[in-house]
Structure formats: C-alpha cells, structure tokens
Amino acid sequence: MISKCLFPAAGYGTRFLPATKAMPKEMLPILTKPLIQYGVEEAYEAGCNVMAIITGRGKRAITDHFDISYELEHQIKGSAKESLLTDIRKLINSCTFTYTRQNEMKGLGDAIYKGKALVGDNEPFAVILADDLCINPNGIGVLRQMIELYNKYRCSIVAIMEVDKKEVHKYGVIAGREIEDGVFLVDDMVEKPESDKAPSNLAIIGRYILTPDIFKLIESTPAGKNGELQITDALLTQAKEGMVLGYKFEGKRFDCGSVDGFVEATNYFYQNETNR
C-alpha cells in the first residue's frame, strides 16, 4: 500500500516572474484550479491520503489552500458559487496535509530528503512534481498506473516519455532494457545531459515511486549537475545495486514549468473541460 505522496514545492518559479514574486508557482491556476491541486487529486485518485508538501519561504498560500476558509464559505453559503469549492473541500476532508520547509535550494534530491520526516523511512512513497501536469483522459491516472506497477515489481519507478533529442538537456534521461511493454529495467541515468551525451531520448517526468532505502542513498550521493543534489544520481546507485524501472505512462503531460507548456495546458483544459 502506498498512502503517502511527497510534493517538492519549494522552488522559486523564476520562469514565471513577476507572477511568482509573491505567489508560489504551484498556485498558478490552469483555468480555476491551482497546479498543486491537480497533483493532489491525482495522488488521491491513486489511493494516497497523506500529502506531504515540501515548501519554502513565501509559500503559505499552499498551506492555506488546503485548509478551510470559514469566512469565505460563510460568504458564499447558499449561493451557486458554493459548488466551486466542492472538489477542494473533498480533498481537505479526506486527506492529511503535512508540511516541512526546504531552507536552501540544494536540488530535488535534497527536497525529497527533507520529506523523510513526513513520509518516514519504512514504507514506499510517491513523489509528484506539480509543474508536470499529467492526465489520462480515457483511463486511470498516471500515478495510479505506477502504483499498480509497483505492486507487481516492488521497486522504485520513474515515469518516462520520449522527447525530442534536442530537449534531453532539460531532463533526467534513462537507458535500459524493455522487459515488458513500456517498462524498462534502468541501467543508466543521467541528469540533464547534452544531447550528444544522452544515453537515450527517454526523459524522466515528475512522477516517482521510491522505496525508502532511497534516503540512505541520498545521504551518500555527492552534489551533481549544477552543484545540486540530484535524485537522478541516487536512483542510478539504486538501479546498480538493486532495481529501478522506467515506465512509459499512458496519458498526456504538460510542462507547466514553462510558459509554453502552461499555455498549452490552459488551452487543452479550456477545450476539454466537460462543464464548459
């Protein structure tokens, strides 16, 4: 059973300045819903009910979002607008939200390590990077697909997708042998390689299932690309000492960490939201 999902959400969101000067990038909305709520809904749908959020300075809006706003609810009680809060209210009632801060921006590996206090080190857990917005319009969500795969293989899993060779420098990139349709046994993994040094064009997308031994491996991982502690490097050790899978998920992914991807997601949701 995987019941806990970690959300690294401490980054500055510099690509969205000035919008993110005083507002967390995870609170940027696609239509009327903030990015992080899409992630929490995906985790909930996958069976998680503990949402462990790694925040930082200036991120209080996230904490407030996943809490009741009595004044607001009192104001709109009995009006048609009340229904706009139904989804978020359901999450608040069904999940426990826990928080800790990453004090310094030392990389995704460090952010995940900070989550140890929230998710514990004796059970597997999920990780969602909320600016990778993933949907599967005609089937089960991406995280749930990964949890089902975890139940079969019981090892760490990273979501992957094929990207253009020109784009590999933006991602962690894996190489491995396909052991079943869309499932790769990872034997190499490089964080943001130049295109001529990339082991493949299979890029890691912001969905992970991690087994708890990852914390010990992070402790012994030196700083990597850009002087930051990279989860990709810790996972490579795990792949070499044990087993890590790459999973080509079913569904669509929007890179909402970039303005182009954000606009693409906005247009997509505007056209496809059923109640519009």
> What residue ranges bind ligand G1P (CB under 6 A)?
108, 129, 132, 171-172, 191, 203-206, 230, 232, 257
**Minimum CB distance to ligand G1P, residue 254 (Å):** 11
Give whichever of 26 and 132 is closer to ligand G1P, judged by the CB atom.
132
Nearer to ligand G1P, 88 or 109 (CB): 109
Distance CA 161, CA 250 (A): 9
In contact, 42 and 134? CB cutoff 8 Å: yes
Closest CA to 45 of 2, 100, 99: 2
| Nearest approach, Cβ of residue 230 and ligand G1P (Å) | 6
Cβ-based nearer residue to ligand G1P, 112 or 118: 112
Residue number closest to ligand G1P, CB atom? 172
| Least distance from ligand G1P to the Cβ atom of residue 38, Å | 15
> How many whole angstroms separate alpha carbon 136 and alpha carbon 208?
17
CB 229 within 8 A of CB 8: no
Q: Do residues 161 and 203 lie in contact, with contact meaning Cβ atoms separated by under 8 Å?
A: yes
* Two tokens, residue 34: 């903030």
Q: Which is nearer to ligand G1P, 33 or 225 (CB)?
A: 225
CB of 197 to ligand G1P, least distance (A): 15
Q: For ligand G1P, which is the closer residue by CB, 56 or 257?
A: 257
Nearer to ligand G1P, 135 or 205 (CB): 205
| Nearest distance in Å: CB 122, ligand G1P | 25
DSSP string for residues in 105-137:
---HHHHHHHTHHHH-SSS-EEEE-TTEEEE-T
Phi, psi angles (nearest 5°) of residue 112: -65, -40
- Separation of alpha carbons 93 and 217, rounded Å: 35
Count CB atoms within 10 A of the CB of residue 58: 13
Q: What's the burial of 3, exposed, middle or buried (CB within 10 Å: 0-12/13-18/19+)?
A: middle
